[in-house]
């Protein structure tokens, strides 16, 4: 990929200046933009219409997916059973994983202009049927891995689109911010994944903020469990209340922050606080959460966060992102400020 000195926005402007008398320069700019190397590096689809006007579109990059089957072992990547463009296999876990990778790719591409997990077209790989009675799904730094569950408490982990989006979002964080997986930075790492996991599901279903469930892991529990999901972003602490599993322990406000050495300092527990903040921003603004609230969180994630960012610094960064994107004093900025206040996080 060429690293050109003249940026595409300058050439795009020059390409439209022939009416000002720079006909040759305009033609040269068009030729440069439409040359293969530059077009590929700029991710632009360009053409000239019948009236010799330049038509510019952002290329819709397609995912490159590969699904492996571990066949009950812990060997990765397993036997390759479906590649990009292949027909469905009939194995529900394989096909759910394939579709979930595609849905996640689509959200990041369409809503945020990101080219796969690393923003450089990284192929998306997953392995299903991992281990024996394996009750989890995870991103291992290179691929998604899904267990089939135990059949009594947990079903298969490919059944929840929010889980697939959540785990792949860990990959986005890995490339964009590398938030330390401990304490408040670790809770933010988890929360960011919940945010984008929820948005993947909402984007795929074309659900607005008010009609979405805001549940992470909905459909994972069997009917034997008194619970709706692993976590609720709208009401942290309400996702389940079961005789065996106990009650969902997530707090939704800093007054209930859990100080613990377990769970890497409570990364899955205290993530409920920033989760609720995002939900409040999204529902205050209304409409499609990926269009405003999601953009603010994405801009924050890719905007240069320190690895040890805590809640207060993250809150400040979201407000800065809202100000930058929508303007100081905008409804978006007000929603961000009020949401963090509502969960007891000072904007540092």
Looking at residue 40, what is its pLDDT? 46
Is pLDDT above 60 for 20? no
- Alpha carbon separation from 231 to 29, 109, 237, 321 (Å, rounded): 52, 26, 7, 26
Catalytic residue among 105, 129, 268, 279: 268
Per-residue pLDDT at 62 exceeds 60: yes
Indicate the average pLDDT of the chain: 89
State the pLDDT at residue 50. 72
**Contact criterion met (CB below 8 Å) for 2 and 37:** yes
* 245 and 238 Cβ atoms separated by less than 8 Å: no
Q: Look at residue 19 and tell me whether its pLDDT is greater than 70.
A: no
Which H or E run contains 47?
strand 44-48
Q: What is the pLDDT of residue 23?
A: 72
> The whole model's pTM is what?
0.84
Nearest-angstrom CA–CA distance, 277 and 281: 6
Predicted local distance difference test score (pLDDT) of residue 61:
79
Specify the CATH number of the domain 183-342: 1.10.390.10
- Does CATH number 3.40.50.300 belong to domain 65-159? no
Q: What is the pLDDT of residues 210-228, one digit of tens each?
A: 999 999 999 999 999 999 9
CA 208 to each of CA 107, 234, 324: distance values in angstroms, whole numbers, following the listed order: 14, 14, 24
Query: Per-residue pLDDT tens for 254-292?
Result: 999 999 999 999 999 999 999 999 999 999 999 999 999
- Residue-wise pLDDT for 127-181, tens only, equals 999 999 999 999 999 999 999 999 999 999 999 999 999 999 999 999 999 999 9
Domain boundaries, the chain: 8-58, 65-159, 183-342
Indicate whether 2 pLDDT > 50: no
Does residue 248 surpass a pLDDT of 80?
A: yes
**Alpha-carbon distance 301 to 293, whole Å?**
13
Q: Is 268 noted as a catalytic residue in this protein? A: yes
Q: What is the mean pLDDT of residues 289-316?
A: 97
The CA distances from residue 310 to 113, 189, 331, 345, in Å, are: 27, 10, 25, 10
CA 158 to CA 217: how far, in whole Å? 10
Sign of the alpha-carbon torsion through 311, 296, 163, 81: negative
Is residue 36 scored above 50 in pLDDT?
A: no
Cα(179)–Cα(300) distance, rounded to whole angstroms? 12
At 1, is the pLDDT very low, low, confident or very high (cuts 50, 70, 90)?
Answer: very low
Tokens standing for 64?
Answer: 């490159």
The answer to whether domain 65-159 and domain 183-342 are alike in fold is no
Q: What's residue 37's pLDDT?
A: 46
Q: Is 279 an annotated catalytic residue?
A: no
Q: Which of 51-55, 233-237, 240-244 has the highest mean pLDDT?
A: 233-237
Q: How confident is the model at residue 42 (pLDDT cuts 50, 70, 90)?
A: very low
User: Above 90 in pLDDT, residue 59?
Assistant: no
Q: How far, in Å, CA of 171 to CA of 142, rounded?
A: 8
Q: Is the pLDDT of residue 17 over 80?
A: no
| pLDDT, position 57 | 56
Q: Is the pLDDT of residue 14 over 80?
A: no
**Could you report the per-residue pLDDT of 170-198, keeping only the tens digit for each?**
999 999 999 999 999 999 999 999 999 99
Tell me the CA distances in angstroms from 38 to 7, 15, 34, one per residue in order: 10, 14, 7
Give the tokens for residue 186: 């670790």
Specify the DSSP class assigned to residue 241.
Answer: E
pLDDT in tens, 68-86: 999 999 999 999 999 999 9
Least confident piece of the model among 61-65, 106-110, 293-297: 61-65
Q: Choose, from 167, 180, 190, 332, the residue flagged as catalytic.
A: 167
């Amino acid at each position: 990929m060429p690293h050109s000195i003249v940026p595409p926005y300058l050439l795009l402007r020059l390409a439209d200046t022939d009416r000002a008398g720079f006909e040759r320069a305009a033609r040269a700019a068009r030729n440069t933009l439409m040359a293969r190397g530059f077009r590929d590096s700029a991710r632009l689809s360009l053409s000239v219409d019948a009236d010799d006007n330049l038509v510019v579109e952002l290329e819709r990059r397609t995912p490159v997916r590969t699904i492996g089957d571990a066949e009950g072992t812990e060997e990765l990547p397993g036997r390759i059973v479906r590649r990009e463009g292949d027909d469905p296999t009939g194995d529900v876990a394989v096909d759910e994983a394939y579709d979930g990778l595609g849905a996640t790719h689509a959200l990041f591409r369409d809503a945020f202009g990101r080219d796969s997990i690393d923003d450089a077209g990284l192929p998306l790989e997953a392995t299903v049927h991992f281990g024996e009675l394996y009750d989890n799904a995870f991103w291992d730094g290179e691929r998604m891995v899904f267990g089939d569950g135990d059949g009594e408490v947990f079903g298969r982990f490919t059944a929840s689109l929010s889980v697939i989006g959540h785990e792949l979002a860990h990959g986005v964080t890995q490339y964009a911010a590398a938030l330390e997986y401990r304490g408040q930075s670790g809770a933010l790492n988890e929360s960011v994944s919940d945010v984008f996991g929820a948005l993947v599901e909402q984007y795929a279903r074309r659900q607005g903020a008010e009609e979405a469930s805001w549940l992470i892991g909905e459909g994972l529990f069997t009917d034997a469990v008194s619970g709706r999901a692993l976590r609720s972003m709208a009401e942290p602490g309400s996702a389940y209340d079961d005789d065996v599993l106990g009650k969902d322990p997530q707090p939704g406000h800093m007054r209930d922050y859990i100080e613990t050495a377990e769970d890497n300092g409570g990364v899955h527990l205290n993530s409920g606080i920033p989760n609720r903040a995002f939900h409040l921003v999204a529902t205050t603004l209304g409409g499609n959460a990926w269009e405003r609230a999601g953009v603010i969180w994405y801009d924050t994630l890719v905007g240069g966060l320190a690895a040890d960012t805590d809640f207060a610094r993250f809150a400040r960064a979201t407000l800065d992102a809202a100000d930058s994107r929508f303007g100081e004093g905008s409804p978006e900025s007000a929603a961000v400020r009020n949401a963090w206040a509502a969960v007891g996080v000072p904007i540092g």
